[in-house]
Structure 1
């Protein structure tokens, strides 16, 4: 693959980001980011799980210019609840460069859904893991409710959950007409490898084209240096179906340190992840320019309805 020109690392929110060594395919997309702040304009939900620092759109664009990323998907973060104002305003500023995934509740009107669609939202997030929802019946009800609310818009359903809960949702998946996207490897544990419980069922769904998986935030599923044990998960998913895989940085990398409880009253530091190294690692794991182009450019263009020239 062609090599990028040497460029100094960029320091953004306490993290140092080296430019990737490989020139990324045209139309490469970061399919999982968040925008936070300014807090005086976008107040946080009172029942939030954590309090993030500010990570503005201009910071993200500076990072993406450093990385060679041309498109982005902003996933509405849980501290804002179902108030999507911060995400929608960022999409309006991005124009055709950006798409979004919203969080909705029973108070979200049809008019609000249409306005979000017009701004570039193409999915709804069902945040089971962050909300601590592991009950199969409750998870299934949330999935079906979200499907009914957005099916006429043709959005996809993005689910943040673990493999065990995903397995409990499988009977409901067969009744859905919308694409299903799973965040962060569906929380598969890298140390357990592809033979772990329920990962085979996930591979089968990917193989049949029934679900999409984000190869995002491997630091959430791995505790070894450079997330080396996640390579086997990536390669198993690629072998199943490279046309159903996406990549996302998870910038600005929210999430408490392992074993550290979250405190709503304290601003939580973002994790210092090097996104340039994350892309280099992805290139190494894939080791094929055709597959890399699918995951970084072609698949996002299809799922998120990016306009092609």
Structure 2
């Protein structure tokens, strides 16, 4: 664990490797975050973790090092519903970033319009109890209805053991859905395990559910070379090629005890998307269709 003198945590490597895999031209890192800088964008008093600064300059330097062209910046839970840091990162990307916000369900339409003008194209609902204190489903559904006019989608983060409980809620969301990290399945069960079968049932329930084939560092307990993750996730990417997204998850919130190498994560792409066509859909066509349709 890496902490500075104030106890703030670093969860990313200071020296990521250069990946051997070269992403296709225009590739999008469709799941990443920024932390602060705290002096300009204070963290939420409800934050469950206090990270060191990981701002846009660091994010864009990593983007270039890894061979990507664009980012989708997802609001980090440590910033609560104040999306200023995310909007700042988008503004500084010169059109090469879009965002996913976290909002108070009581947000007004004018503020939603401001977020849209700032590059936000979706909102995130977090059901991880270790990160959020409550998740008011009825209020979430109300705001989901109100973003439909903007052409946005809803990103949902949950763990596999809560999927059955969430199915009615997910079915009621009237806009496209994106599932973070495939709902955190137990990849050691393999591609035909209970968690992956349940997730496939969700994908088959409607044709506007997307997923992020992300976070081998979180999901594969054996660590590198992430063989269990590859075995479980590759068939999902192959079977749903037009609904898969990929991202680094940099700066890897809450991973300070097991910090991944970002270059190594990029090299996993060619193992879960083994053809040039799959790679292009995963990294270019799908995220561009979802985030840059306008």
Q: Give the TM-score taking structure 2 as reference length.
A: 0.88
Q: What is the CA deviation profile of residues 115-172 of structure 1, one whole-angstrom value per residue up to 9, with x for unaligned ones?
A: 110111001000111556799xx66435413312322212111011012322222233
Distance in 2 of aligned mates of 1:171 and 1:299: 26
Distance in 1 of aligned mates of 2:223 and 2:13: 20
- Name structure 1 gaps, 5 residues minimum: 1-11, 257-268
State the Cα distance separating 1:104 from its structure 2 match: 0.4
Match of 2:259 among 256, 263, 272: 272
- Name structure 2 gaps, 5 residues minimum: 1-10
Distance in 1 of aligned mates of 2:22 and 2:131: 39
Structure-1 residue corresponding to 2:153: 156
Match of 1:283 among 263, 270, 276: 270
State the Cα distance separating 1:270 from its structure 2 match: 7.8
Structure 1 stretches of 4+ moved >4 Å: 130-135
Distance in 2 of aligned mates of 1:134 and 1:215: 26
State the Cα distance separating 1:222 from its structure 2 match: 1.0
Match of 1:213 among 211, 214, 217: 211
State the Cα distance separating 1:198 from its structure 2 match: 4.3
Match of 1:181 among 178, 181, 195: 178
Q: CA RMSD in A?
A: 2.3
Distance in 2 of aligned mates of 1:279 and 1:153: 32
Match of 1:301 among 272, 288, 294: 288
The alpha-carbon distance between structure 1 residues 142 and 192, as it changes in their structure 2 partners (threshold 3 A), is: farther
Structure-1 residue corresponding to 2:143: 146
Q: Determine whether 1:223 maps to 2:221.
A: yes
Structure-2 residue corresponding to 1:100: 99
Equivalences for 1:242-253 in 2 at 5 Å?
A: 242-253=241-252
Distance in 2 of aligned mates of 1:146 and 1:168: 20
Distance in 2 of aligned mates of 1:143 and 1:231: 33
Q: Give the TM-score taking structure 1 as reference length.
A: 0.84
